[in-house]
């Protein structure tokens, strides 16, 4: 049997997700995801504040995100 291709990231690993976020996202979005990372001031538009509950892409007509969004 042939194995599925690997990406170097195990699906479902919260610890790995935190590691990837810290390496690739926190510099702009901040440690807590508030859009206040060390490089945030360099970006236009500013990095999204994930805690604001304002989502750019949602699947509902009223713009309120679902758990799936």
25: confidence class by pLDDT, cuts 50, 70, 90: very high
DSSP result, 18-36: HHHHHHHTHHHH-TTSSS-
pLDDT in tens, 5-15: 555 555 668 88
Q: What is the pLDDT of residue 58?
A: 66
Can you read off the two tokens belonging to residue 18? 């935190």
| Digit-coded pLDDT (tens) for 26-57 | 999 999 999 999 999 999 989 989 888 776 66
pLDDT for residue 16:
87
Q: Name the DSSP letter for residue 60.
A: S
Global confidence as pTM: 0.61
Q: Which two tokens stand for residue 6?
A: 């690997």
End-to-end CA distance of the chain: give it in Å, rounded.
35
DSSP H helices, 1-69, are 14-24, 26-29
């Amino acid at each position: 049997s042939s194995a599925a291709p690997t990406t170097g990231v195990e699906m479902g690993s919260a610890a790995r997700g935190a590691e990837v976020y810290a390496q690739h996202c926190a510099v702009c979005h901040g440690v807590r995801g508030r859009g206040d990372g060390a490089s945030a001031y360099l970006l236009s538009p500013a990095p999204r504040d994930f805690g604001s509950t304002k989502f750019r892409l949602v699947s509902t007509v009223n713009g309120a995100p679902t758990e799936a969004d």
